[in-house]
Amino acid sequence: MDYFEKHIRDNKALFDEHKADRSKMWAKIESELSNTNPKVVPLWKSPLFRVAASIVLVLLLSILIGITVYGGQQSGSQNNVVSQELLDIDMHYSNLVQHQVQLVKNHPDLSQEDKNEFLSFMDELDEEYGVLKLEMEKNLGNERVLEAIIGNYKKRIELIENLLRQINDSKMINDDYGYTL
Amino acid sequence: MKTNIRFTHQELVEKSKLGDRNSQFQLYEQYVDAMYNVSMRMLCSKEDAEDTVQDSFVEAFKNLGNFRYESTFGSWLKRIVINKSINHLKLKRIPLVPIIDHEYHLTEEPIENIKDIDIEKVKRGIKQLPPGYQQIIHLYLIEGYDHEEIGEVLEISKSTSKSQYHRAKKKLLEIIKEM
């Protein structure tokens, strides 16, 4: 350091020639500091919070897994209930139809031609039933399909009942006629 | 002894860290004029210097938790003021270092020493220097920064700081001589 530099540094206080407007500047500083939001300590930095967060996470995962598995089982059992219900309806109508078809087949007053015509109707309804049953397996919750299956059975029973009524009616006319004579 | 200087105003600093407004105000009172003069020398504008010093105090008080007595509180605060002033000059696109090509001047020409220099002449002489020369003269001669610190503040190499200071001082002495 030469003489010039030393001279300046020794007298550097003389370079402080300005006076700050202290009160005005402090007012702004204080206002800025007051407006500052309180310092936020991130919760995740606290070890206690980390433990609590881990527990919550584990609980949430357990609940999620529980819902998935139990919900799946429930849904399965619900499907089983629907399936069982469908099976019962199917069994009931199937037995009813089989019984009546057998009655038609064994009926002595019906010609073979009438029997064949009737059975061909029943075959068509059987095919329709097959399609509906496949549809039902795909979508058990579809009430319209279920209704269509029941409708299919009812139509078959109605057909059989009509046929049997016709046979009985013709028999009664003949009997009346005979009785009149 | 040196260690003790670093802990100047320790009580006030510690209370200020906790947000004690009265302690913050006392620190402000202690340093505001010095900081204002640092900024005025660099920015040559009352309004700019006021804004810069206000921002510096706010930043200092907000980040006081990071102050670990590695220097005095005054030095720490002054560094904030100088950095903010430099940033202000950058925003205004005022050159921090003279644009004159300096890299090829490897030797320093001897400077004629002047004795009994009037400080008022020095002040006026500094104001006549190009802005880049003014900054380096202020930082080295008045703020007492060494060339390494100046290099950090102005983002230049230590050797560039040295050569620029040498040129600035030479120019300043020429101006003073002609007064």
| Pair B86, B123 in one domain | no
Q: What pLDDT score does A141 carry?
A: 62
CB contact under 8 A, A25 and B21: no
- Residue owning tokens 């500083």: A29
Domain coverage including residue B35: 2-91
pLDDT band, residue A180 (cuts 50/70/90): very low
| Pair B28, B74 in one domain | yes
Dist. CA B178–CA B173, nearest whole Å: 9
- What are the φ and ψ backbone dihedral angles of B176, each rounded to 5 degrees? -60, -40
| Pair B85, B124 in one domain | no
CB contact under 8 A, B49 and A12: no
pLDDT tens-digit map of A116-152? 877 887 788 888 888 877 877 777 667 777 788 778 8
Q: What pLDDT score does B107 carry?
A: 52
- Whether residue B140 contacts residue A29, with contact meaning beta carbons closer than 8 Å, is answered with no
Please say which residue of B91, B110, B139 terminates a domain: B91
Segment B166-175 mean pLDDT: 92
- Residue owning tokens 């009926």: A107
- What are the φ and ψ backbone dihedral angles of B157, each rounded to 5 degrees? -80, 160
A33 CB neighbours in chain B (<8 A) are 21, 24, 58, 61-62
Q: What pLDDT score does A171 carry?
A: 59
CB contact under 8 A, B54 and A29: yes
Query: In this model, does residue A26 exceed pLDDT 80?
Result: yes
pLDDT tens-digit map of B124-162? 999 999 988 999 999 999 999 999 999 999 989 999 999
Q: What pLDDT score does A140 carry?
A: 61
- Whether residue B44 contacts residue B129, with contact meaning beta carbons closer than 8 Å, is answered with no
Dist. CA A153–CA A133, nearest whole Å: 12
Residue type, A117: E
Q: What pLDDT score does B113 carry?
A: 62
pLDDT band, residue B96 (cuts 50/70/90): low
Question: E-assigned strands of chain A?
Answer: none
| Pair B140, B79 in one domain | no
Query: Which of the pair, B75 or B94, is modelled with greater confidence?
Result: B75
What residues in chain B have their Cβ under 8 A from chain A's Cβ atoms?
21, 24-25, 28-29, 32-37, 40-41, 46, 49-50, 53-54, 57-58, 61-62, 111, 113-115, 117, 119, 122-123, 141-142, 144, 169, 173
Dist. CA A119–CA A159, nearest whole Å: 10
Segments making up each domain of chain A, as ranges = 79-180
| Pair B27, B83 in one domain | yes
Q: What pLDDT score does B63 carry?
A: 94
Give the nearest partner residue to A21 out of B35, B50, B58, using CB atoms.
Answer: B50
Cα separation values, B144 from A6, B43, B58, B75, B147, Å: 11, 18, 24, 10, 10
Rounded to a whole number, what is the distance in Å from the CA of A1 to chain B's nearest CA? 10
CB contact under 8 A, A20 and B61: no
Segment B54-60 mean pLDDT: 96
Per residue, the 3-state secondary structure of A134-166, as one string, reads HHHHHCCCCHHHHHHHHHHHHHHHHHHHHHHHH
| Pair B6, B69 in one domain | yes
Q: Which residues contact A16 (CB under 8 A, 6 or more apart)?
A: B33, B34, B37
CA quadruple B38, B41, B43, B47: dihedral, nearest 10: 70
CB contact under 8 A, B33 and A25: no
Q: What pLDDT score does B115 carry?
A: 66
pLDDT tens-digit map of B7-23? 888 899 999 999 999 99
- Identify the closest residue of chain B to A32 by CA–CA distance: B58
Q: What pLDDT score does A179 carry?
A: 42
Mapped onto helix, strand or coil, the DSSP state of residue B102 is coil
- Whether residue A125 contacts residue A155, with contact meaning beta carbons closer than 8 Å, is answered with yes
Helix, strand, coil share (%) of chain B residues, nearest 5: 70, 0, 30
Which CATH number goes with the domain that contains B137? 1.10.10.10
CB contact under 8 A, B24 and A9: no
pLDDT tens-digit map of A39-85? 555 666 666 777 777 788 888 888 888 777 766 566 556 556 666 77
Q: Which residues contact B89 (CB under 8 A, 6 or more apart)?
A: B42, B43, B96, B131, B135
What residues in chain A have their Cβ under 8 A from chain B's Cβ atoms?
2-5, 7-9, 11-12, 14-22, 24-26, 28-30, 32-33, 36
| Pair B6, B84 in one domain | yes
- Whether residue A19 contacts residue B33, with contact meaning beta carbons closer than 8 Å, is answered with yes
Tokens of B112: 């004629």
Cα separation values, A130 from A81, A83, A125, A135, B90, Å: 21, 16, 9, 9, 85
Segment A155-161 mean pLDDT: 79
A20 CB neighbours in chain B (<8 A) are 32-33, 35-36, 50, 53
| Pair B64, B125 in one domain | no
Most confident segment among A48-52, B76-80, B112-116: B76-80
Q: What is the mean pLDDT of chain A?
A: 76
Q: What pLDDT score does A124 carry?
A: 83
Q: What is the mean pLDDT of chain B?
A: 87
Residue B99 falls inside a structural domain: no
| Pair B71, B19 in one domain | yes
pLDDT band, residue B57 (cuts 50/70/90): very high
B35 CB neighbours in chain A (<8 A) are 20
Q: What pLDDT score does A80 carry?
A: 63
